[in-house]
Amino acid sequence: MINISQPIIEDEEINAVVEVLHSGMIAQGSKVAEFEKAFAKYCNTKYAVAVNNGTAAIHTALYALDIKPGDEVITVPFTFVATANPILMQGGKVVFCDISEKDYCIDPEQLESKITPKTKAILPVDLYGQIYNYEAIKQIADKHDLKIMEDAAQSIGAKRNSMRAGNFGEVASFSLYATKNISTGEGGVITTNDENLMKRCKLFRHHGQSEEKKYEYLELGYNYRMTDIAAAIGVEQLKKIDRFMKIRNTNATLYNKGLKEIDGIILPSVSSGNTHVYHQYTIRITPNARFSRNELIDYLKENDIGSGVYYPKPLHLHHHFSKMGYKKGDFPISEKVSQQVLSLPVHPSLSEDDIASVIDKIRTLARSK
């Protein structure tokens, strides 16, 4: 079976966890501090704050930006639900803006029409592993005095003009969930270059406790701490990220070569200045293709090949958001693309033969029609 994703846990991770377990310090301690330092160094940001998952990272980052009840935050409907929910957790209002068909990220052309006097921040997503159109969005943000919070859950290591993900906003969030490009099982990280924002993140992750004085609580906070057990895995995963990234890129290049010139299939496009980390290698099966998306999914499954649809329904069409007044037709690109996307296995455990066999199956299906 070729799975759509697979975490890579090797002896280094296992030994590091055993060492922490023997140490007697298993909650947040020195390993978390070591992981944060290594993470910030990798992203080339001043600070990194580790938390227990990516959703908590987004919530913490929005708190740091002072998102309060009534504030509007603009994000995309074509993303995982965890991008939008933390806005609601802070009492804010989710305002959707459609994506661009080219990079599947927030469309700068449509952003300005969503801004109102209540808009406080923009929350773009680096979907599938490439950084959103930062310069265009930043220009609009500056013009309207808005903050940016980058959802980099899928883009660790990605670059835009030599800067790494984690730098494309006042604050950024990462996820270390099992399917992400590096993983601690569950985990999350916030990066920032702003000392005050870093301090607010640390306060929020630990019950709003003062940094100076233990058992002195300044604001509402949560228990969002990461354990040293998870951080020990993270430290080892970070050492391997360049190897993982290289294999994902090689796999993507093989797909690009093998799948071009199949009628009605759109391959991923990499925006100028970007390096893509292929958290997902996502193709589109348009109505011009000889087979439907479901036919391809079933055919791959019959041949023991997993695939995934990220995401089958844009957020605004789920009851949770449609009850706020959103309806079908509001975000046509997200709606169209959600019917067409299909992600193929691209993770670093796959051999070149595995990729060749996925390509072969897709070409065979196209020829048979």
* CB nearer ligand PLP, residue 154 or residue 209: 154
Minimum separation from the CB atom of position 2 to ligand PLP (A): 21
Q: Give the number of residues in contact with ligand PLP, rule: CB under 6 A.
A: 14
Rule CB under 6 A: say whether 252 interacts with ligand PLP: no
Rule CB under 6 A: say whether 86 interacts with ligand PLP: no
Integer Cα distance of 313 and 319 in angstroms: 11
Alpha helices in the chain (DSSP H): 11-23, 30-43, 54-64, 81-89, 108-111, 134-143, 195-205, 228-259, 293-302, 319-322, 332-338, 352-367
* CB nearer ligand PLP, residue 192 or residue 280: 280
* CB nearer ligand PLP, residue 148 or residue 259: 148
Cis peptide before 63 (omega within 30 of 0): no
* CB nearer ligand PLP, residue 60 or residue 251: 60
Measure the CA angle with vertex 13, ends 8 and 19; round to 5°.
165
Say what angle helices 293-302 and 352-367 make with each other, to 10 degrees. 130
Binding mask 50-79 for ligand PLP (x = CB under 6 A): ---xxx-----------------------x
- The tokens for 39 are 């993470």
From candidates 84, 153, 165, 337, binder to ligand PLP by CB under 6 A: 153
Beta bridge partners, 283, equal 342
Q: In what order do the strands lie in the sheet with 281-285?
A: 265-266, 281-285, 341-344
From candidates 2, 17, 67, 82, binder to ligand PLP by CB under 6 A: 82
Beta bridge partners, 189, equal 50, 174
Minimum separation from the CB atom of position 353 to ligand PLP (A): 29
Integer Cα distance of 18 and 31 in angstroms: 13
Minimum separation from the CB atom of position 310 to ligand PLP (A): 8
* CB nearer ligand PLP, residue 222 or residue 299: 222
Rule CB under 6 A: say whether 278 interacts with ligand PLP: no
Name every residue whose Cβ is closer than 8 Å to that of residue 314 and which is 6 or more positions away in sequence: 77, 78, 331, 334, 335, 338
- The tokens for 100 are 């661009």
- The tokens for 221 are 């906070």
Say what angle helices 54-64 and 195-205 make with each other, to 10 degrees. 120
Rule CB under 6 A: say whether 154 interacts with ligand PLP: yes
Rule CB under 6 A: say whether 129 interacts with ligand PLP: no
Minimum separation from the CB atom of position 83 to ligand PLP (A): 5
Rule CB under 6 A: say whether 338 interacts with ligand PLP: no
Minimum separation from the CB atom of position 276 to ligand PLP (A): 15
Minimum separation from the CB atom of position 94 to ligand PLP (A): 14
**Binding span for ligand PLP by CB under 6 A among 48-56, 64-72, 247-255, 311-319:** 48-56
CB 171 within 8 Å of CB 65: yes
Rule CB under 6 A: say whether 100 interacts with ligand PLP: no
Minimum separation from the CB atom of position 212 to ligand PLP (A): 30
* CB nearer ligand PLP, residue 167 or residue 280: 280
Binding mask 174-213 for ligand PLP (x = CB under 6 A): -x-x----------x-------------------------
CB 286 within 8 Å of CB 340: yes
Burial track 313-334 (b if 16+ CB lie within 10 A, e otherwise): ebbbbeeebeeeebeeebbebb
User: Where do contacts with ligand PLP occur on this chain (CB under 6 A)?
Assistant: 53-55, 79-80, 82-83, 125, 151, 153-154, 175, 177, 188
